[in-house]
Structure 1
């Protein structure tokens, strides 16, 4: 093979054949050969994909600028807002008044004022109330008696104020009529003989008083209302007072009254002195006129919607009325509201015609002019306008 080289070429020996290294032999502690364990198999798992890079925060989207309403549109929206507010207040106030009226109807003091006796008068036209004011001080504390100038005598519950109030039937041209029955009226009290009309209540309570009035007048009574000294003053104060316009000043230390002439708002204590005072030229006649005027003004104020616009009265007035007023067991708040509403309009006020003042076994008494009184009560029964007397 060396003979194949050409002339002038160097002589080269062929490279030796490449030999693989002999396998490594492992021997155990005794020198015996051991086959090496195969190399562990490495499993390569694919690398997880790279996490996405956080994107840059987006710039905030600018809010569109609110367009300001023109002034004319804003002015037009105010009436709507006021109307909505008025409706809300109205609904709340109505609900409150209805709730107060419902509570008062259950809280009012009631009494069985009428009794079924054989010769009771037949019903007439319209509606007739008997309103009485008691002189009892039983529900007054000593301090209240001093504040109201009622005196220390607790009273026997005599009815110093006795009024007939006739409300005309719907469609009648007759006005509401308030008639004073003098407390010293000399009448027959069933079962007791002749006595002053204010003695009937302490003798037999409301049933005997209503029967006495029905027998003396020939009118059938439909409703009964009674009010006492303390409750009267508290009710007037709860209503915010009552406005009256006396023509002449009244100065009566016994009644705690020093009242100037002219229109003014009377508080509870002043109002009580006004309806009790006899320190005037005509004494009892003036007092009865004052009682009629004030009672009409009081009931009209109770029924006046303007009074109830003050939310404070939604609580105080019903609670004062519940303490002050006692009605017959067939009457309710609706009847009281109808009474007050009727007295807000034109009202005729008068005293039962008086015949003479006499001395009797029960002291000074008033005797009615029975002929003129019968004409008056007959007009009320037939729902016709009565003729006012001269003491108005």
Structure 2
């Protein structure tokens, strides 16, 4: 998107979309008393757009991470929590179910966020968008086609069938949300192997270069020049998220009431989520994240064998490594992912300290 088209898009009324990393983790990482007050929490929850209940129509589901509460009791928040994060490639609002159109949208980014019951870590795992999977009622297809075929509910069903992991909440994002939040922070620092040209501006290659939201968007959308194509692009997306966390922590964004108010307003207006991610769950998410540092967050891509062709030869696909994927997801389902990664991190595509 050119700078001029981006400016025109910014002038149009925007639907609120989700930047889940900020909502789930960053909001609490600052540790500011301003962000923790009840009044601010209520204000934030009131600005979040809701997308209904995509779980209601699912015919069968994996068991929850924690035992279900007795009938009549409130939902427990003591167990692990799994949040499915989507980034739509369509300009039609994925956060407004009234604007979803069959065949009009696919999900450019698919990420599962696992927050363990121990509340001492956060795991963010990406599914390559071209992963070849079984889509319920549709047969074999790329995983991102599920959203196009049947919206949030079908993609959730597809992920749950693939992983046998129960999804607790659902959020949607597009990279325009990342642009706005990055700019609200005054930019983020990334390492550039080559000069980055955006419009009439050139950011020279080098370590810790300050990028605007639009420049960071160009950086993460690059694919053709990357050695591993989409796999490297996924890591750039993850690195951008990590850079947002680092910038907010280093600047103490949430320690200052003025900067907190401005930043949280941008974040909350970028959020769309299922009805169940209410004010109570948001408070719980803050409690889960308040003691986390950047070293407690692990980003990785789910196991894959490589690329291939669909059976009819018409599509380039990603072949998942089921022998490695199944025990990984069993560890997510049983909330033993930390221990699993300690013994198997070397075999996973984990985000390195520096992404070029």
TM-score, length basis structure 1: 0.63
Which sits farther off after the overlay, 118-127 or 338-347? 338-347
Question: What is the alpha-carbon distance in structure 1 between the residues aligned to residue 293 and residue 127 of structure 2?
Answer: 18
Q: Are 1:130 and 1:162, in contact at CA under 8 Å, matched by a contact in 2?
A: yes
Question: What is the alpha-carbon distance in structure 2 between the residues aligned to residue 200 and residue 250 of structure 1?
Answer: 37
Question: What is the alpha-carbon distance in structure 2 between the residues aligned to residue 118 and residue 95 of structure 1?
Answer: 39
Give the equivalent residue in structure 2 for 1:226.
172
Question: What is the alpha-carbon distance in structure 1 between the residues aligned to residue 106 and residue 171 of structure 2?
Answer: 15
Find the partner of 2:316 among 358, 361, 364: 364
Residue 268 of structure 1 deviates from its aligned partner by: 1.3
Q: Are 1:359 and 1:365, in contact at CA under 8 Å, matched by a contact in 2?
A: yes
Give the equivalent residue in structure 2 for 1:160.
108
Q: 1:183 to 1:280 in 2, by over 3 A?
A: same
Bigger radius of gyration, 1 or 2? 1
1:262 is paired with a residue of what secondary structure? strand
| Structure with higher RCO (Cα < 8 A, 6+ apart) | 2
Residue 300 of structure 1 deviates from its aligned partner by: 6.3
Q: Are 2:192 and 2:204, in contact at CA under 8 Å, matched by a contact in 1?
A: no
Find the partner of 2:297 among 331, 336, 347: 347
Residue 350 of structure 1 deviates from its aligned partner by: 1.8
1:196-235 superposed matches below 5 A:
196-235=142-181
Find the partner of 1:119 among 31, 49, 60: 60
User: How many positions carry a matched residue from both structures?
Assistant: 282
Structure 1, residues 57-79: CA drift from partner, whole Å, max 9, x if none? xxxxxxxxxxxxxxxxxxxxxxx
1:324 is paired with a residue of what secondary structure? coil
Structure 1, residues 110-132: CA drift from partner, whole Å, max 9, x if none? 12232353431112262212112
Give the equivalent residue in structure 1 for 2:210.
265
Find the partner of 1:136 among 90, 104, 110: 90
Find the partner of 1:282 among 228, 233, 247: 228
Give the equivalent residue in structure 2 for 1:329.
275
Q: Are 1:100 and 1:318, in contact at CA under 8 Å, matched by a contact in 2?
A: no
Unaligned runs of 5+ in 2: 1-31, 66-78, 94-102, 351-356
Q: Are 1:257 and 1:270, in contact at CA under 8 Å, matched by a contact in 2?
A: no
Give the equivalent residue in structure 1 for 2:68.
none
Residue 230 of structure 1 deviates from its aligned partner by: 2.2
1:308-327 superposed matches below 5 A:
308-327=254-273
Q: 1:363 to 1:273 in 2, by over 3 A?
A: same
Q: Are 1:97 and 1:314, in contact at CA under 8 Å, matched by a contact in 2?
A: no
Find the partner of 2:50 among 110, 115, 135: 110
Residue 231 of structure 1 deviates from its aligned partner by: 2.2
Question: What is the alpha-carbon distance in structure 1 between the residues aligned to residue 36 and residue 327 of structure 2?
Answer: 46
RMSD: 3.2
Residue 317 of structure 1 deviates from its aligned partner by: 2.2
Question: What is the alpha-carbon distance in structure 2 between the residues aligned to residue 364 and residue 201 of structure 1?
Answer: 19
Q: 1:266 to 1:157 in 2, by over 3 A?
A: farther
1:240-251 superposed matches below 5 A:
240-244=186-190, 246=191, 248-249=193-194, 251=196
Q: 1:120 to 1:378 in 2, by over 3 A?
A: same
TM-score, length basis structure 2: 0.69
2:55 is paired with a residue of what secondary structure? coil
Q: 1:301 to 1:166 in 2, by over 3 A?
A: farther
Residue 299 of structure 1 deviates from its aligned partner by: 5.0
Q: 1:321 to 1:261 in 2, by over 3 A?
A: same
